[in-house]
Structure 1
Amino acid sequence: MPATPPAKPALQRRLLQPRDFDEALGLLPPWLALDAPTRARLPALWQQLLQHPGFNADVIEDVSAPAGQRVQAVGMAVALDARWQQRLRQAPQPWLARQLYAELLDGRTRPPSERELARANGSRGVDEGVSFMVLHYQQRNMDIGNPQAVAVISAAVTAMRLAHAGHRVREIFQEAWQGEHPYMHSIGFVQRSAHNTAATGSAAHTAPELFSLCRAEALRKLPGFQIREIFEHCTPIFGFRGAEQRLLRRALSDEPDELIVSLLGISPHTLKKLWRSIYQRVEDRFPSLLAEAAAVGAEGVRGPEKRRTLMRYLRQHPEEIRPYAVPGKGQAPADTGCGAPRNFV
């Protein structure tokens, strides 16, 4: 009698939460080789960065698995300042993610501020935009011959797209150990270093290599290629404020209001004010978007339907939840003269 194939996992992507920190520590890549004192300081750093618009931290979980065994993968990325961008482009050395973590922990570097990200997202130069480095990605099973592991890898590529899309991404960097190189090549990244072929000594042969992908390389790929979609950028039309964007980023992860209040450290009253402000901006700039939802008159239906309608739109237009400013000005005005559909820039 043939063996019963394993059940396909019920995977979902969501944002990292403090309750995930212990499991995230257990899913640090072995090649990262962080010492015990550094590992012990990471949860405090993650907590500090959790709501920063230049920090992406995602969890892939199998909701069909028992509690305590659901998290299948964790990935984190951070926006880079100009010094770190130059460092990665010019003769990169190995163990860059480890060095970046050390500087973040010691306060020697920080992600660009919300204002700096807004200016970068509003830029139009060929060599302008936001650059990210994936600090690490790790999943419980990396066996490409295992259907469940392959499903997690596929979900992770989608999560990477959702985590970065909406920014005017200039470049994404990621270190990868030798066994991970085929995955990096398969999703479109280009290897930029060759430490293991040029260096000598046993330690060098386990060093990670640096991969990256820039906007020009990504946009040469055919439409529909997931990694290309990270680099497709549109001008936002709503002009959401920073507090509104922080709320919307959590809501897009299907987190309930009770959890959002706790994670953002705001009161229920403030949350209600933010939702009212969000809906007012949408109704002012794109009246037809919520018209159908507003017409639903059944008691208790209108509010949830308005949110579902807005969430569907924002999943297609992630630029609305990213900082944005017109070059030379402050926060971008809501009326940019661009309706839907919009041109990529």
Structure 2
Amino acid sequence: MADSIAGFRICKKLDNFAESCNILKGYFSSFGAPAKQGDAMTWREMCEADLTDCFNIEPRHMGAEIVGYEPALKIWRLLVRSRCFNSVVIESSTPKHMKRIVASGSSVFVTPDFATQELERPRPYLNSRILASIASKRSVILPESVLCGEDIHCPVDLVVLNGDYLNDSLSQDELDEVHMLLPFTFMEAHLGYRLNRILIEWTGETQRQFHHSSGVWRAVETYAQEDRGLSIMTRKDALSVSGSVAAALFQYQEPILHLHETDKHLLAESLRGGSDSELAARMNLSLASIKKRWLSLFQRVAEVQPTLVPGHREQSWSSYRGPQKRHHILSYVRSHPQEIRPFRWYSGKEL
């Protein structure tokens, strides 16, 4: 587990984006894939009901210093529904304990002006300024239109809001698994975006060591009296560490399928696994609607990338076995996550 504690480092050099994604998917399938029966730890997206438990782990990351606790909680409830917000909750269950949240992480895309301002004038309480901007109707959250492709050539800046775990109440084996899951679920959530700079305000020495042991985070400022500090990761930082998995975050490829929102929704749910009946239940659609969406997706993909659809040259290709076509498309999307970014289907109003 030495490499897991090092965060974003593995021994193999990653030569291209697709290879990076495939290797990471192998890690994900080995360490706590969602809803695997019998796993000690599983992960999923954060929801509103998780917020209190998540901030009980590390209250300082809530960002309530300016607006106060209740307004901050209200803003977080909006954030968890935004496409500009990514998150993970890691849960542990044992024979002695019911399922409980042992770690959580979240991030938000911000405007380049805000990221530049924070780097030029670093101060404590980064999260609180983000929440205060939303409360004042002068949000520094990146407009969703940028993520949705209206300006796809513009790199985006990211702030990691939290990456916290129960340090004192976990066994060493549990800590090792959390140390592995947090960075790799972070990768899973952010691969496929055109990233520019990643900022984080860490709290406490344990968290500082956890991030900086990877070698890819660079210190910007330390606020000794507050027991906090600002760190940054850029493409240059990630590539400077030989064999760094984090380099894959900055190896962006243009999407070629140009999928509709409904297509992205279908593929994102399919990547979680399950039959068409299970997809229908999760998406609140009829089974017939799911099958109709698959057929429409096959037809659109065949128009722009026909090699992904087996039987596309056959006169009756539309009757070609659906599972085979689905397998090819899902395999491609797994190694090219930019095709379905932003990953999340629902969204609230612009923050």
Per-residue deviation, 1:217: 2.0
Please say if 1:316 is aligned against 2:306: no
User: What are the equivalent positions in structure 2 for 1:227-246 lying under 5 Å apart?
Assistant: 227-246=246-265
The aligned amino acid for 1:241 is H
**2:45–2:89 contact (8 Å) kept in structure 1:** yes
The farther-off stretch of 183-192 and 49-58 is 49-58
Per-residue deviation, 1:279: 3.1
Which residue number in structure 2 is paired with residue 212 of structure 1? 232
Q: Deviations over 1:31-83 (max 9, x none)?
A: 65736984444554344344533211112233666785243211110001133
Q: Deviations over 1:265-310 (max 9, x none)?
A: x888876655444333333333333428xx9xxxxxx556655553
Q: Distance in 2 between matches of 1:62 and 1:276?
A: 39
**2:130–2:141 contact (8 Å) kept in structure 1:** no
The farther-off stretch of 36-45 and 241-250 is 36-45
Q: Distance in 2 between matches of 1:50 and 1:314?
A: 24
**1:62–1:70 contact (8 Å) kept in structure 2:** yes
Per-residue deviation, 1:28: 4.0
Which residue number in structure 2 is paired with residue 331 of structure 1? none
Which residue number in structure 1 is paired with residue 47 of structure 2? 17
Which residue number in structure 2 is paired with residue 135 of structure 1? 161
User: What are the equivalent positions in structure 2 for 1:109-128 lying under 5 Å apart?
Assistant: 109-118=139-148, 122-123=152-153, 128=154
Instruction: Please list every run of 5 or more consecutive structure 2 residues that lacks an aligned counterpart in the other structure.
Output: 1-37, 315-320, 343-351
Please say if 1:149 is aligned against 2:205: no
Please say if 1:283 is aligned against 2:293: no
Q: Distance in 2 between matches of 1:31 and 1:116?
A: 26
Which residue number in structure 1 is paired with residue 283 of structure 2? 261
**1:31–1:208 contact (8 Å) kept in structure 2:** no
Specify which of 92, 100, 110 is matched with residue 130 of structure 2: 100
**What SS is found at the alignment partner of 1:152?**
helix
Please say if 1:160 is aligned against 2:186: yes
Specify which of 187, 200, 211 is matched with residue 174 of structure 1: 200
**What SS is found at the alignment partner of 1:141?**
coil
Q: Distance in 1 between matches of 2:170 and 2:94?
A: 21
Q: TM-score, normalized by length of structure 1?
A: 0.71
> Does the C-alpha gap of structure 1 residues 31 and 74 become closer, same or farther in structure 2, counting only changes over 3 Å?
closer
Which residue number in structure 1 is paired with residue 222 of structure 2? 194
Q: Distance in 2 between matches of 1:142 and 1:232?
A: 36
Instruction: Please list every run of 5 or more consecutive structure 1 residues that lacks an aligned counterpart in the other structure.
Output: 1-7, 197-204, 296-301, 324-345
User: What are the equivalent positions in structure 2 for 1:299-310 lying under 5 Å apart?
Assistant: 306-307=325-326, 309-310=328-329
Q: Distance in 2 between matches of 1:61 and 1:11?
A: 5
**What SS is found at the alignment partner of 1:69?**
strand
**What SS is found at the alignment partner of 1:56?**
strand
Per-residue deviation, 1:114: 3.1
**What SS is found at the alignment partner of 1:131?**
strand
Q: TM-score, normalized by length of structure 2?
A: 0.70
Per-residue deviation, 1:87: 1.6
- RMSD of aligned residue pairs (Cα, Å): 3.7
**1:121–1:168 contact (8 Å) kept in structure 2:** no
Q: Distance in 2 between matches of 1:16 and 1:304?
A: 31
> Does the C-alpha gap of structure 1 residues 276 and 54 become closer, same or farther in structure 2, counting only changes over 3 Å?
farther
Q: Distance in 2 between matches of 1:88 and 1:78?
A: 15
Q: Deviations over 1:105-142 (max 9, x none)?
A: 4432053223223558732xxxx501100111211236
**What SS is found at the alignment partner of 1:134?**
strand
The aligned amino acid for 2:111 is D
**What SS is found at the alignment partner of 1:227?**
helix
**1:31–1:206 contact (8 Å) kept in structure 2:** no
> Does the C-alpha gap of structure 1 residues 175 and 52 become closer, same or farther in structure 2, counting only changes over 3 Å?
same
> Does the C-alpha gap of structure 1 residues 165 and 278 become closer, same or farther in structure 2, counting only changes over 3 Å?
same
Please say if 1:88 is aligned against 2:118: yes
**What SS is found at the alignment partner of 1:230?**
helix
Which residue number in structure 2 is paired with residue 200 of structure 1? none
The aligned amino acid for 2:253 is C
Give % identity. 24
The aligned amino acid for 2:64 is L
Specify which of 72, 75, 78 is matched with residue 105 of structure 2: 75
Per-residue deviation, 1:96: 0.7
**What SS is found at the alignment partner of 2:255?**
coil
